[in-house]
Chains A and B, each alone.
Chain A
Amino acid sequence: AQKVTQAQTEISVVEKEDVTLDCVYETRDTTYYLFWYKQPPSGELVFLIRRNSFDEQNEISGRYSWNFQKSTSSFNFTITASQVVDSAVYFCALSEAQRSNDYKLSFGAGTTVTVRA
């Protein structure tokens, strides 16, 4: 079963528009970590944020913000006032901390964001 679902395959916006990326996860653990990564055309995955399951405070970092809601198992990501340089594939990932031998990230399928000038 898919542990992380990113329902949006592609999103295309015009520069300065806001973009919200959806992420829904599935886990039985009470302790887990959620991540967002960005993969620009160069191919290298860039770490954006890590949140643990006990911290539901929303976070803002510059033009990026994250909305974590345990009640709906969602960890959504918003880019405000998008720029062309934001064009990339964005991945949501889950790490389940309670399993003794689980040291991996389970990734969603990714959402391709294209920002047009």
Chain B
Amino acid sequence: KAGVTQTPRYLIKTRGQQVTLSCSPISGHRSVSWYQQTPGQGLQFLFEYFSETQRNKGNFPGRFSGRQFSNSRSEMNVSTLELGDSALYLCASSLGGGTYEQYFGPGTRLTVT
């Protein structure tokens, strides 16, 4: 069974730009979660989608948004990038969300200059 895939793996953007990250979950998994990992804040929950509906959102500004498609693939978008958005963005898929095992992708390393 193929694992969670994330594209792109690396990204360099300039302040003020926007970026879209993509995540393809494990086949059969309907829940996709996104996490931000930084050296200072650690792993922080961004949001979770299940069957195209956002069920939970972390404490991030509205510049961070996401969506999920009917095939369970998910995208997250960050608008008006700030230097502090530089991080590893991890996507996780599971059968049903937080109480289930979540399987993580390799992440997208975003650098904002």
User: Chain A interface (Cβ within 8 Å of chain B)?
Assistant: 33, 35, 37, 42-47, 50, 52, 91, 95, 97, 101-110
CB–CB B104/A102 < 8 A: no
Report the nearest B residue to A33, measured CB to CB.
B99
* Interchain nearest-CB distance for B43 vs A (Å): 4
Interface residue ranges of B62-104 to A (CB < 8 Å): 88, 90, 92, 97-104
User: Chain B interface (Cβ within 8 Å of chain A)?
Assistant: 31, 33, 35, 42-43, 45, 48, 50, 55-56, 58, 88, 90, 92, 97-107, 109
* Chain A residues, CB < 8 A from B104: 37, 44-47
* Chain B residues, CB < 8 A from A106: 45
CB–CB B48/A103 < 8 A: yes
CB–CB B31/A44 < 8 A: no
Report the nearest A residue to B88, measured CB to CB.
A43
Q: List 30 A-B contacts (CB under 8 A).
A: A33-B99, A35-B102, A37-B104, A42-B106, A43-B109, A44-B105, A44-B107, A45-B90, A45-B104, A46-B104, A47-B101, A47-B103, A50-B100, A52-B99, A91-B43, A95-B99, A97-B98, A102-B56, A103-B33, A103-B55, A103-B56, A103-B98, A104-B33, A104-B48, A105-B33, A105-B35, A105-B45, A107-B35, A107-B42, A110-B42
